[in-house]
Structure 1
Amino acid sequence: MPDRSLLAVLTPYEAEHFLPAPLLAELRALFPGFRLLDPTGLSPAAFAEKLAAADPTILLACWKTPLLPAVLPARLRYVCYLTGSIKTLVTRAHLEQGLLLTNWGGAISRVVAECALLHTLTCLRRATQWTFAMHQKGAWKNGPTEAVSLFERRIGIHGFGPVAREFVRLIRPFNCAVTVFAPDVDAAHEREFGLRRASSLEALFAGSDVLVELAPLIPATTGLIDEKLLRLLPPGAAFVNVGRGAVVDEAALIRVAREGQIQFGLDVYAHEPLAPDHALRGLPNVFLTPHFAGPTLDRYPDATAQALRNLRAFTQGLPLEAIVTPEVYDRST
């Protein structure tokens, strides 16, 4: 049985919300002597010193955990990361040296997919336009509106990771025709999820009433969604991005958005936070949220529940979920 020495590196805020009493009790039962380190204010050198002194077998990490030092403690075998983007914590060299790493994987994907659905419905119903008009102008509808339903729409998805898969499941009651463009989608996915593969990114955009952007941000996708692609969307279509802002050429998006023919639902941006005077603010066809598609506060424990399953499996020598290999690392944002 592997050593059960565990160091948890979480700020008080992270500990409060990721480790509510029932889950903290589970962690203490699994690792009776576990230690909790608050990284607030620690320099990289100070953190490295404390990590070396603790010399744990397992590190439970979160958003504010500093980047691991190049030379790891002698006993450290496993980093269980409670959240998602691992490149601020671990380098590829760490993984090549044999460090085992997991993250939250698909534990919070349904919550991100829920936000994608919020943006989709808001765009289709023209809710931003009507919110502005009713609050600021005292408006009321005068006859039929341009709002449309999600039922039986053509949905295009760029990328097919855990969030995209949860989104497909979430919209099943709407009987949509779903098309996906992603390098790893195959015939088995078509059968399992009831979708079809697009022949190209251009075909995906041209054939979608709603385009949901969920591709990872890697060198090959940075700025990939350009003006040409956005203009392939049919008039009245919606473009939703709850993935990564820099996948889109934001200047091109602004030019298209200003014309008012496409609805936009955006949770992520090329540069964050969004400037107070940003050109996207105030456009009635653009629904904006402040990069909050990730887990809502009440769902943080979903990530901890998966982490506990992995920690328990590690102590028993069983397979783990959401392992980040060097190959997965390369594809990650």
Structure 2
Amino acid sequence: MELWKAMELDNAEQLVLCQDRNSGLKVVIAIHSTSLGPALGGCRMWDYATEEDAIRDALRLAKGMTYKCAVSGLSYGGGKAVVMGRPDSFRRKDVFRALGRFIETLRGRYVTGIDLGTTVQDMDVVRLETGYVTDTTGSLCATGDFTAEMTAYGVFLGMNQSLMQDNGSNTMANITVAVQGLGKVGSFLCRYLHGAGARLIVTDVDDQRVRNAVQQYGAAAVHPDHIYACACDIFAPCALGAILNDSTIPQLQCRIIAGAANNQLAEEKHGIMLNDAGILYAPDYVINAGGIIVTAAELNGYDESIARRQVERISATLSTVYQASLSEGIATSAAADKLAEQRLSRVLP
């Protein structure tokens, strides 16, 4: 893998590869931009097939965080830490203590937090070595599942805005939503949707999660491979990224795509494909920004009520993106990128 080319492809500022022999830690820290402020983004733990996969994922996720912060009006840049390996393959406390030491050497250029595969307890260990960490015990974002709920809340509000854009009404009553992925965010989203009167179609690789949704919300369950072809008003990707691609887009039978997953488009061209197909796409880093918005609110010393109100701005941001898409005749994904890049360009030399 040519690291410089990989960095240039995503226009990343810094790529740090760290290892600690004693704990077995191997971590990739990608800092995409600090133009607006310190790079903010969680730490995920995943058993990647190759080192190249881990590096590409870190770089792509870090870029997404930059755009998410920029389009949301936050004074932070984007970063991401990726710990390679299975959770049972090393001594967890030693790993995260070593990670904290490496983050401390960056002197505030990167602030970490929880992400896929990591926990509040992991961040407590990181805190032993550095102050550049969020989501620790007692913090706003570590209270219950506040971050996940606010991410779902933002997606729910974005769905309402998308319905208004699509047909002039934001009522969820009798709207059919197909939810792909029933982790914390997907489950909270189902609760919001059910409460608003939506009909649910759900899928997940975890059968118990599916059974819970069927029992609690009267959802219809489908096999993970069949979710794309379900007839619905809104398709909500809430699992892995790159699921909107050459294979899945032709299967879609929805009017709107609005979900919590990161990096939903496999390639830039897929945003154009959705636009050409007449499907309204809510750009992922706009609609799923609730989590990073409340993290930034906490770092700025705000309480839960203020954080929640700031999440509610997602509707207005999404409306701005939709209007730009229409007026300029471009895909919504391109309109969101343009909005984020305009804010970034105002602070660049």
Please, what TM-score do these two structures have when normalized by structure 2?
A: 0.42
Larger Rg: 1
Please, what TM-score do these two structures have when normalized by structure 1?
A: 0.44
